[in-house]
Amino acid sequence: MRADAQRNRERLIEVAREVFREQGYDASLDEVAKRAGVGAGTLYRHFPSREVLLDAIMQSWVDRVNESADKVLTHEGSPRDLLLAWFETYVELISLHKGGPARITQAMGDSSSPIVTKCQTLTAATDRIVERLESEHALRDHVEAVQMARLVGGVATVADNGNLDHDAVRPLLEVIADGMLVSSDTRS
C-alpha cells in the first residue's frame, strides 16, 4: 500500500472511532469520510462495508481484551473479587462506544454475526475466567462463558442506554456474581 493510502486508511480508522464513540455504530459513514478529509469513494475502497471498518477499529480492542483477562487472572483475592473484577472489566471493554454493549451482546453466540470474531474473543477471555473459577470449585455447575457474557452484557446495555455510572452498575454485577458462585461453605 502506498504511503498516502496507508495514511488515509489509518486516518479513517481514527476518525471512525471518534464518530462511533460520539454517535454510535450506526453513525453516517459519509460523516466519517468528511471528517477524515477524504471522499466517500476512498472510504469504501479501504472499507467496503461498515463491518469491515468496525473490524479494523476493533483489532486494537481485541488485544486489549486479552491483556485485560491476563491482568484479572493475576488476581489473588476471593473468587467473588476475581469475578467482579472481570465483570467490571468486561463492561468497560464493551462500553467504549455508544450502542456497543447492545450490539455486542446481541451478537454473542451468533456465528453469522459480522462481529463474530470479536464475540469469540470476549467469550474466550471469559472462558479463561470460568476455567480458573472451576479449578477452584467456586463456580456453580453448568455456568458457561456465553451465558456469563450475555448477562453482564445485559447490565452494560442498561447502563449504556440509561447513562448509569459505576456506582449504579456495581450492585447489579454483584447480584450476577453471587448467583454464579457456589457459597464458600459448600466448596470442596
Q: What is the pLDDT of residues 12-40, one digit of tens each?
A: 999 998 998 889 888 999 999 999 999 99
Residue range 132-167, pLDDT digits in tens? 999 999 999 999 999 999 999 999 999 999 999 999
Q: Region of 41 please: left (phi>0), alpha (psi -120 to 50) or beta.
A: alpha
Count of Cβ atoms closer than 10 Å to residue 69 Cβ: 22
The model's pTM: 0.74
Count of Cβ atoms closer than 10 Å to residue 95 Cβ: 18
pLDDT at position 184 is 63
pLDDT at position 188 is 45
Q: Band of the pLDDT at 117, cuts 50, 70, 90?
A: confident
CA 45 to chain centre: 27
Q: Band of the pLDDT at 41, cuts 50, 70, 90?
A: very high
Q: Please give the domain boundaries of the chain with CATH numbers for all domains.
A: 1-48 (1.10.10.60), 58-186 (1.10.357.10)
